[in-house]
Structure 1
Amino acid sequence: MKVNRELIVRTALQLLDDIGLEELTLRKLAARLGIQAPTLYWHFSSKQALIDDMATTILVEASGDLAPARPGDDWTAWVMAFGQGIRRRLLQYRDGGRVVAGSRLTNALFHEAAERIGAQLLEAGLSHRQAIVLMSTVYTFTIGFVVEEQAVFPRPGERSPAYDIAQRNQALDAGKFPLMRKAGPVLFDQFDRRYRESVKLVIEGARASASR
Structure 2
Amino acid sequence: MVKVATTKLDRARVARAALDLLNETGLEGLTLRAIAQRLDVKAPALYWHFKDKQALLDEMATEMMRRMGAELLAAPDPDWRVAITAAMRGLRTHLLRYRDGAKVFSGTHYTDLSYAAPMEAMLRALTAAGFAPAAAARAWFTAYSYTIGYVIEEQATGPGARGGAEGYDLAARAERLADYPLAAAAGEEMFRGHDRGFETGLAAVVAGIGSTSVIAGE
TM-score, scaled to structure 2? 0.87
Partners of 1:73 and 1:124 within 8 A in 2: yes
In the other structure, the counterpart of 2:25 is 19
Superposed displacement of residue 149, structure 1: 0.6
In the other structure, the counterpart of 2:58 is 52
Letter in 1 for 2:122: I
Distance 1:82 1:159, change over 3 A: farther
Superposed displacement of residue 39, structure 1: 1.4
Secondary structure of the residue that 1:198 maps to in structure 2?
Answer: helix
Q: How does 1:43-192 map to 2 (within 5 A)?
A: 43-66=49-72, 72-153=77-158, 155=160, 159=164, 163-173=168-178, 177-192=180-195
Letter in 1 for 2:14: I
The separation in 2 between residues aligned to 1:72 and 1:137, in whole angstroms, is 19
Aligned length, in residue pairs: 208
Structure 2: give runs of 5+ residues left out of the alignment: none
Q: State, as a whole percentage, how many aligned pairs show the same letter.
A: 38
The separation in 1 between residues aligned to 2:31 and 2:23, in whole angstroms, is 13
String of CA shifts for 1:75-112, please: whole Å, max 9, x gaps.
10111111111111111001101101111111111121
In the other structure, the counterpart of 1:42 is 48
Secondary structure of the residue that 2:135 maps to in structure 1?
Answer: helix
RMSD between aligned residues: 2.1
Superposed displacement of residue 71, structure 1: 5.0
- Equivalent position to 1:195, from 174, 194, 198: 198
Partners of 2:170 and 2:188 within 8 A in 1: yes
Partners of 1:59 and 1:86 within 8 A in 2: no
Structure 1: give runs of 5+ residues left out of the alignment: none
The separation in 2 between residues aligned to 1:34 and 1:103, in whole angstroms, is 27
The separation in 2 between residues aligned to 1:74 and 1:67, in whole angstroms, is 16
Partners of 1:13 and 1:93 within 8 A in 2: yes
Letter in 1 for 2:52: S
TM-score, scaled to structure 1? 0.89
Partners of 1:66 and 1:83 within 8 A in 2: no
Distance 1:59 1:155, change over 3 A: farther
String of CA shifts for 1:193-212, please: whole Å, max 9, x gaps.
11111111111111112357
Does the alignment pair 1:5 with 2:1?
Answer: no
Partners of 1:66 and 1:81 within 8 A in 2: no
The separation in 1 between residues aligned to 2:60 and 2:77, in whole angstroms, is 32
String of CA shifts for 1:99-137, please: whole Å, max 9, x gaps.
011111111111210110111110000111111111111
Superposed displacement of residue 67, structure 1: 6.7
